[in-house]
Each structure stands twice: as C-alpha cells, then as structure tokens.
A and B are shown apart, each in its own frame.
Chain A
C-alpha cells in the first residue's frame, strides 16, 4: 500500500469516526452541548475563511463580520416562511419585490455566500491596493458600512428589529457536513497552484510579482473566496440563532476570529480548526470566572461578571506577545507526521526539542 493510499484511507476513517461522533452528539447529548459543538464548527468555517486572506495571502483584512452579516441576512430574509413575514416585518412592510421569494436553507446559504463574494469583489477593487494597517482599517470600515446599511434598509432587512422566526437549524450532522465540505475545498485550494501563488505573495510580494504572479487577481480571488465562506458561516450562524439583527455583527465580532487564527496559527488550516474549538469551548469554560466563587468558605471578590472577558483578552495578548506562531504556526497536521509520532513518540519530542533550540 502506498503512502498516498494509506493517507486517503486514514482520512476516510477519520471522517466516518467524526461523523459518528456528530451523530452521537445529536442524538445523545443535551441542547447546551449541541449548541456549543455547532458554534465551534461554525466558528471553524469562519476562522478558515479569515485564514485564507490573513494567513495564506498575508493580507490583514478585518471584514469578516460584514460578510457574515450578508450571509446571515440572506438566510434570514429568504428562509422565513412567507406566511410569517408580515408578522416579522410589522413596523415597515417588506418590499413587495422579495416578499414572495422563498428559498430552502441550502439554496439560501449558497446565495448568501455568493452575494458576500460579489460584495467582496466590489470592495476589493479599491481596497486591495492597500497594505497592512490601511487594509485592516478599510475592510473594518466596510464591515461597519454593511452593518449601517442593513440597519437603515428596513423594508428589506427589517432594520434594528432584526429578523425573527428563522426556521432554526440545530442539527449537528448538517453543520458537520458543511464544515467538512469547507475544510476539503479550502485544503484543495491551498494545495493547488493558486494556493502556492497565495503563499508566494505572503512571503514576498515583489518577488512574487517578478515571478509572473498577478498580485491583484490573486488577492481579489482570495478575498472573494474568503467572503464566500464567511457568508456561508454567517448564514449557518443566523440559522443556529434563529434570529438576526444588525447588532450581532459589530466589528468586534471579527476579533473572535482573529483570536482563533492567531491561536491556531496564521496560515494553518488544521490550526484554525483547533483554534475555533479551543476559543469557543474555552470561552464557555471560562464562564466560571463570571460566577461568584467561594474557595475554602471565603468569597473571592475578583470573580464577578466581566472577569471572563478580561481573562480572554489577557490570553489574546499573551498569545500575540509570547507565542506568536500559535499552536501550529504555518504547519499542518498530516498523517505522515501522525504515523511517525505513533511509531516513535519519544524520538519525536527529542528531535522537536533539538529543532526548537
């Protein structure tokens, strides 16, 4: 059996096992665990999408919240049953052009992703000429503009009242499949010639251009793909919550995904997945910080609402300052490494240790 075949087989086994786990979570676990697992996977999709621009192409964009909003709103507007719409749009009647258009969730997700990609294309043309901080602040600005437009366009988005009664999606298996497809597509993309061009741009733009890589085309492509998956993730997020309103998509939401990719490693797909799980589940676990705590019969005054977020931001700072590479750096989890590790667990550590020094 060749290495390639073995790896494929291992991958298939892993997928089946994970699907089994998802199935188990769906059938046996309570709603709270299901919600956290779903959120982990949705955050993984959005973290992955952000990693395309920020990790692989090295363009620091902060527009994820805006693209999520686009996806979430398309799902919100078109999956609410037509009969329920007048009740949802009770303040400003819904625009007659769209009031009778209904889409099933799957279609709405794709449409939302495509619309986000289209907007990314329009935004990308002026913005992607910028570098570093300028790009960051311009994309952040666009994400705020998207939110402000949504707030004001009441006949389409219902403004601040948001969209209620979105048929809720709480099936771990479906979200697992969406995450899996995203993972596979992005892995294929990164390993293609496009992916190599992305990395070349990250390492040195001028050298990449000299090699004949069309900078603008590749940056724009990456930006659109990133927006597409952010739109899909946003759509799932909207369906999971069952309601969306503009305040869900403040630009501070993007910081969550920034932490995910920083922790997981900028430029690592498997890193983003790990980062998403650690950040989402970790934030839930850290909730004990918000509850009053008694140790040995003594109330500790530090613990009150708000402390958790302080710890969260301290952790973010710690990662940035002392652990810049995150968990994976730009490395990926591969079966070869895994098999090697299983064969010689001790050697792995000593060799790794020697490397690190």
Chain B
C-alpha cells in the first residue's frame, strides 16, 4: 500500500512537472518569436547509437554560435532537437522544428539515414538543411533543399581504395556492418574502386549492429591472409572487431571511414587500434585557413581539448548558413537556400567550400591513423575539380 502511494505521488509530481515544463517552454517560445532573432534548427542524434557523433557536432555548432551570434542585426537562436538516432523520430523532429519552432535553416544530421528521413519534409516546406556528416550520396540527390558540409561516400571509398592500393595491397577482405546503410554503401564504393585498380576482394563478411563477438568471421579471414581489412562501421563495433582481430593474431592493417574519429573508438580499442587508417574531413596539421585557426583556438579555450572532424563539420555547417544569410541579407528560407547554392570560395575550417549541382561540397579528404592513443595525420587527398 505504501508503495502504491509512493508511485501515485511520483506520478502526480511528474504530471505537475510536465505541466510546468510545458508552460515554461511555451513561455520562452512566445517570447523568442519577435523580429529580433533568427532561429536555426539543430537536428542531431543526442541519444541512441549515434549519440557520440551528434554530441561532437553539437559542440562545433555551439562554438560557432558563440563566435558569430548575430546576423543582419538579429540574434541567432539555436533550437536543439534530438532525433534519437531513429528515423521515425527524425521525421517528427524535423517537422516540429519547421512548423512549431519556425526555424529558418536546419543544421544536421550525423547519420545519413536520419538526414534522409527529413529529406522530403525540408523539401516540401522549402526550408534549407545543411547536413553535418551524412556522407551517403542519396541525401542530396534530387533534393534542392539538402546541402552538406562533408564529402560523400563514393569519394571517401575511392580515396581509401587508392590509399590501400598505393600501400601495395593486392588482396583485401571487407567486413561490413550489414545492417548499417553507411557501412554497406562505403564498402560498395571501396570494392568498386579497388577492383578497378586491379586489386582483389577475397572475402566479404557481415555482422549486425550491436554484435559483440566477431571471432568466427575473423578466424575465417585469418585463414585467407589478406593484406588489408576494410571494415567500415560504427565505432563501437569496429573497435571491438579490431581488438578481437589482434587477439586472434591477425596482423593485417585495418582501414575504415570517417565514423571512427571519436574518442570512444580509441577508449574501447586501446592499443589494438594503433596503426589503422581512415579518411576524415579535417586535421589540425592540415588546417591552413584563417577560419580553422580561429576555430582551433576557440575550441581549446572552450572545451579544453583538441577538436575532431565532427566538431569542425558542425562548425562549418553553421558557417555555411551564416555566410548565406549574410550574403543574402535576409532570413527568408527560400532566399537562404539560393544563397547557399551560390556559395563561392568560402574558406571554412575543413577547407574551401563550393557546392556542385547536387549540393555536395567539393572538398578533399585527409587520411589519419591512431598513434600513441591520439589521431594522427598521414596524408591529404584533394578532390579533382
């Protein structure tokens, strides 16, 4: 009986809190809807599988907002929404940002499938969106309102295939996270490019998101003795995969994609992930633009650490929107869209930014590795214009 009362009390307080929160929320919203602010929606996974990437990008966006808080005499207000790494949620959240919060531009998301869930919504509402690190080509295809700050998978896959071939690899095994669209897409582009170069893909093994034991596929691969293992996927699974490969005595180098660049990848993988290689959008050592220097200094001051590519991409997405609003001199969504499409020679943290007809930036990629528990720059591959 006492338990019952306790639960009843909890429920009552929960309801009361909700109501209060509702009032508080709506109060803030009605206060913010004046002509003195421009609302920018931030559309990122802050919980769920992709939370780590989403949080990094949010930091970048917040930093940019701190450095450039005003546009055309108006304050820029960020409306942060969590898409929970879930597509149905993502669609709801995107519609909510546009219709309820009345944002003029949307920044995000990490994760291509999340961005695609919002694709039709931004297109219909004619609100431009700038993807942070959604690298799948389908995000911007046939969608005039989706742009992005990052390079795309066909480019990334080709870069890694070239790099692998240049290192003398002839036989490659691919281990892909078969339930992850990003991994499957990237693996395909890598395979195409590598076979075109004359290399051989000797095995394609699959695992599911959330798997923890990879010993069976790895033992099979070990018997085939590949030169390089290309294993695009989520950083958690990838780190465990590499760890188990080293435990089984596999010496081949592992290569992957831009998702690996999170602290968690090194935390989980430890010394076993040393010496891997992956493509990324940004590195401190390659960062030459004035904006990059400004970004790195501010980042160090604000977060007491070194920025990663995802921080940089979040920052850049904000800057693309900022630049478009400045050049367009307006906060009308359609005009912002046109201004974004007309971006020319904009110097950002991850390099010079211009968009092709799909809305993808023409940008080079850096190749990085892990050394002494830190991400290290190895090479830079520019895009062929």
Contacts and interface: CB of A to CB of B under 8 A. Distances in A.
A242 B119 contact: yes
A30 interface: yes
A290 B54 CA distance: 15
Nearest to A87: B141
B298 interface: no
B120 interface: yes
Given A32-B100, A285-B18, A305-B46, A293 B179 contact: no
Interface stretch (B87-95, B255-263, B313-321): B87-95
B25 interface: yes
A-B CB proximity, top 9 nearest? A32-B99, A30-B99, A305-B46, A32-B95, A305-B82, A288-B21, A91-B188, A306-B47, A161-B181
A151 interface: yes
A311 B98 contact: no
Interface residues of A, number: 50
Given A161-B185, A285-B18, A247 B92 contact: no
A267 interface: no
A162 B121 contact: no
B184 A243 contact: no
Given A237-B88, A242-B91, 8 more contacts: A31-B98, A36-B92, A39-B88, A151-B178, A151-B179, A306-B47, A314-B10, A314-B14
Contacts of B51: 305
A284 interface: yes
Nearest to A282: B18
A241 B208 contact: no
Given A31-B99, A322-B4, A168 B120 contact: yes
Contacts of B184: 91, 159-161
Interface in A159-198: 159-162, 164-165, 168
B125 interface: yes
A36 B384 CA distance: 45
A295 B24 contact: yes
A315 B7 CA distance: 10
Interface in B67-97: 80, 82, 84, 87-88, 91-92, 95-96
Nearest to B101: A32
A241 B117 contact: yes
Interface in A276-319: 284-291, 293-295, 303, 305-306, 309, 311, 314-315, 318
A291 B178 contact: no
Nearest to B125: A31
Nearest to A302: B17
